[in-house]
Amino acid sequence: RIHDEADTRPPSAPLARSVSIRVASTMSAPFARASASIATPPRIHDTRRERLPRGARPRRDVAPTSWAKSESAIPTTKTTRLPAPTVHPASVPTRAHLIRGAAASSAAASSAAASSGESSPLGVHALVWTGGWSAADANDACARTAAAGYDIIEIPLLNPRAVDVEMTRNALGTHGLRVATSLGLSFDADVSSDDASCVARGNALLDEALDVSVGIGATHMCGILYSALGKYPRRATSRGYRNAVAAIKRLAKRAAERSDVTLGLEVVNRYETNLLNTATQAMAFLNDVDEPNVVIHLDTYHMNIEERSLEAAVLECGDRLGYVHVGESDRGALGSGNVDFDSLFRGLARVHYRGPITFESFSGDVVSPDLSDVLCIWRNPWGFEQRDELASDARSLVLGMMDKHGLR
C-alpha cells in the first residue's frame, strides 16, 4: 500500500523510523588476482520506533512501517512514499549465516532423510574454473572439481565442435567425475523462430550437442534448448511456440533411441528468452512436448527475478523437476546476495527432489570475452584466484541447506 504523508497520517500518529540496510562491497576489485575474502557480511541497522505519548493509541488503518518524516531543511512538499521494506533473514544472508543456520538442525534432519534413499549429487559449472576447453583447461577444471568435493562437472556446449570427446572422457575418468552439459541457441539457429531455415539450423545444433553429450557420457543435457539465448523484441508467436515444441519432441525421441541422456529445459528470465520465464510456463510447455525424458531445469538466479516464491515454483514442477542450478542474485558467491535459499530447499524437500544440484557462477576474470558477451557478464563479482574458495564455500552452503531441510 502507498501512503501519502500529506493526507493519510494524522497529526497525533507517531512517526516510525525506517529500517536501513547497508551492504558492504562483496568482492575484490575487477581483475584482482590477490586472494581475498569472497564476501563481506551485510549489516542491518534497525532503529526502534518512538514511544507513543501516554494514553495515545496507535492508528489501525496506517501501515506500522511508514517512512519517517524528513528532518532536512528543504521545504516540505506533498509527496507519495512507499512503506519501509520488511527485511526477512533470508533476504540478506551471508555465507557464514546460512551455513551456521543450516547446520544447526543437521543431525536430526539427516536422520529423517536417511531412509529416503540417495541424496542429490552436487555439481559445479565448468565456467567457474575456465573459459576454454583445451586439454589443459579440461584437466585443470576436472581436478579442481574433484578436489572441491563435487560429483559432477557441467560443460557448456555453445560450440559443440570445440569439445574433444575422447580427451574429455579421459579427463573425467581420471578424476572420477560424472558430467552434464548445457547450452543456449543463437538467434540464427533458433528453433522457436517462424523461419523454417532458422529452425533447421537450430535442430542441427541440438543434434551436434546431443552427439557430444552422448559421447562424453553425460547424464543430462540442459539449458535454453528451446529458443535463442538473448533478449527478444516481442513475445513468441504461436507458430514459433509450436516449432519449439516440435524441436524438443524430436530431440527427445532421438536421445531416447541412442542414450539415457535426460533433456532439461532451463527456465530463464525475460531478458534471456521470451518463451519459458516461469515454472508455470515450463509445465505447460512440458505437457505439450509429452516425452518422459524431458524435465524442467530451474535456476535460482532466474527464479529470483521471475518467481514470486522459489518454494512455490518448485512445488509447481513437482516430480517433473529434474535439474537445479544454484546461483546468486549477482552471479557471485552463494549467500552474498538476496536469493532465499531456505525457500528453495524447503520446496526441494517437499517434492522429495533427488536430482543434480549444480553451482553456477560467472566472472569476466575467467569467462572468455566472446562468451562474456553472450552471458552478459559485464563485471567481475569474484577474481581468478578465488575460484577454489568460491566453489568450496558454495558446496558447504548447499550441504548445510540439504541437512537443514532433510535432503540427505
The answer to whether the CB of 364 falls within 8 A of the CB of 378 is yes
Per-residue pLDDT, 34: 39
Per-residue cell: 40: 563481506
Would you say residue 125 has pLDDT above 70? yes
Would you say residue 67 has pLDDT above 80? no
Of the pLDDT bands very low, low, confident and very high (cuts 50, 70, 90), residue 331 is very high
Per-residue pLDDT, 139: 98
Q: What are phi and psi of 313, to 5 degrees?
A: -65, -40
Per-residue pLDDT, 376: 82
Would you say residue 82 has pLDDT above 80? no
Of the pLDDT bands very low, low, confident and very high (cuts 50, 70, 90), residue 311 is very high
Whether residue 118 lies in the annotated active site: no
From the list 266, 311, 316, 328, the catalytic residue is 266
pTM, full prediction: 0.73
Would you say residue 3 has pLDDT above 70? no
Residues 126-151: what's their mean pLDDT? Answer: 97
Residues 110-139: what's their mean pLDDT? Answer: 82
Higher confidence at residue 198 or residue 8? Answer: 198
Tens of pLDDT, residue by residue over 348-388, are: 999 999 999 999 999 989 988 877 887 788 888 999 999 99
Would you say residue 74 has pLDDT above 90? no
Burial class (CB in 10 A: 0-12, 13-18, 19+), 40: middle
Closest to 310 measured CA to CA, from 267, 363, 271, 270: 267
Tens of pLDDT, residue by residue over 179-194, are: 999 999 999 999 999 9
From the list 71, 118, 360, 389, the catalytic residue is 360
Whether residue 266 lies in the annotated active site: yes
Between 24-38, 241-255, 356-370, the lowest mean confidence (pLDDT) is in: 24-38
Q: What is the mean pLDDT of the chain?
A: 80
